[in-house]
Amino acid sequence: MKLEIEETQPLADRIRPTTLDEFVGQSHIRNRIEAFTKSKRLPSLLLFGPPGCGKSTLALLLARLTGRQSLRVSAPEAGLTSLRKQLPGNDILILDELHRFSKAQQDFFLPILESGEITLLATTTENPSFSVTRQLLSRLHVLRLRPLSRDELLDVARRGARALDLDLEEENISLLAAMAGGDARTLLNLVEYTAQLPAAKRNPDVLRESLPEVVVRGDRDGDSHYELASALIKSIRGSDPDAALYYLACLLESGEDPRFVTRRLIISASEDVGLGDPRALPLAVSCHQAVEAIGMPEGFIPMAQTVVYLALAPKSNATYAAYRTAQKEVRDNGPKPVPLHLRNATSSLQREWGYGRGYLYPHNFPKAWADQDYLPNELRGRRFYHPKDQGEEPRLLAWLKQFKKS
């Protein structure tokens, strides 16, 4: 009977560590973990980190070390009504995916943590600053777990292979570890899949083609979603097309909505490239339209083209900075009255008041330029726009300099 259970039990559960010595990774918080195990009472914890880094395993180990009665539930499957019925008789609640409870549902835990009725060991893949209420966070010690390193993943893969009596070459182990993306659970699934392949297909030269396509994990509502998007834009801003392409691939392979990506490219074309290359914005808008028209997977083609173009384009944030400066002026001091000569005289009374009087129509002058003030009197001579010496901006500014002395 035990053999049948083992054969149907996923490898990740079968070799789950039963002691802290067997636990792999998270050396940066080992001292804190050991301190918790030696304290008289285990505090309530929130374990935050990416999938497959050992959050649930660590929670189970800590609960077991206390020797107290524990209950493990997953937030997506546990309603509060059901949870209320299960809690009596348990001292520790291991709650997976705390972020799946709404902010209102999270309030359920406040009184029972405050009274010490239960110790909560919760896990989340999302940044708790955004996914967990401030009140609940104040009652939890937050431990941030990291993805497993390459060496740690190799160790996990070897353990998995030994548990399956699988003779795997080091080259194959390295391949599986590289494909896992820091996720031990994914890695063990790959090891288990490899064990089911015919021996001939375990040859390093053919194993890659024999493995299932690994879907890169992407959390569209959590940290990875925004971190990858931020990395893409910063790589474009830093004129690194290789890094920009890499983060584009990370986003798309994780199943990101391509329209989210193209909208970010439109913003970057204006904010970071700007008048350094005025053609960048129309290209980014065209990319958005092209992706809408052709969809995925071919949509990566115009996106890759646009990403590389934006990364290589001369950069100028002068117009972005100019608006921010003008915005600050308005927010700090309020809008000033529009000069009378710029106001539209749509009635005889407004003409009496001087609306439009003295306005010089630029098209009546050589090169369509008239020497007159446009800013309110209090701001006359104030400059918001300071061009950069990049790309097309010097050429555009030269046209204006022929008329203005400063």
- What's domain 26-144's superfamily in CATH? P-loop containing nucleotide triphosphate hydrolases (3.40.50.300)
For residues 404 and 390, which has the higher predicted lDDT (pLDDT)?
A: 390
- The ranges assigned to domains in the chain are 26-144, 150-210, 223-312, 339-401
pLDDT at 233: 94
CA dist., res. 45 & res. 154, Å (int):
29
Tens digits of residue pLDDT in 121-145: 999 988 888 788 889 988 998 999 9
The DSSP secondary structure of 11-58, one letter per residue, reads: HHHHT--SSTTT--S-GGGHHHHHHHHHSSSPPPEEEE--TTSSHHHH
Residues ≥6 apart with Cβ < 8 Å to 185: 12, 51, 52
Give the per-residue pLDDT at 215: 47
Q: Across the chain, what does the average pLDDT equal?
A: 84
Q: What percent of the chain has pLDDT over 70?
A: 93
What is the average per-residue pLDDT within 385-399?
81
Contact 195, 167 (CB under 8 A): no
* CATH hierarchy code of domain 150-210: 1.10.8
Per-residue confidence (pLDDT) for residue 171, from 0 to 100? 84
Architecture of domain 339-401 in this structure: Orthogonal Bundle (1.10)
Asked whether the beta carbons of 140 and 36 are under 8 A apart, the reply is no
Angstrom distance (rounded) from CA 98 to CA 111 = 17
**For residue range 352-372, what is the model confidence (pLDDT) as tens digits?**
788 878 888 888 888 888 888
pTM: 0.57
What was the pLDDT predicted at 235?
A: 94
In this prediction, what percent of the chain has a pLDDT beyond 90?
21
**Cis preceding linkage at 297, omega within 30:** yes
223-312: CATH, from 3.30.565.10, 1.10.150.20, 3.40.50.880, 1.20.272.10? 1.20.272.10
346: left (phi over 0), alpha (psi -120 to 50) or beta: alpha
Indicate if the pLDDT at residue 152 is higher than 70.
yes
Nearest to 149 by CA among 22, 20, 25, 23: 25
CA atoms within 13 A on the CB side of 322: 15
Q: pLDDT of 183-240, one tens digit each?
A: 888 888 888 888 888 877 777 777 777 776 654 454 444 456 678 888 999 999 999 9
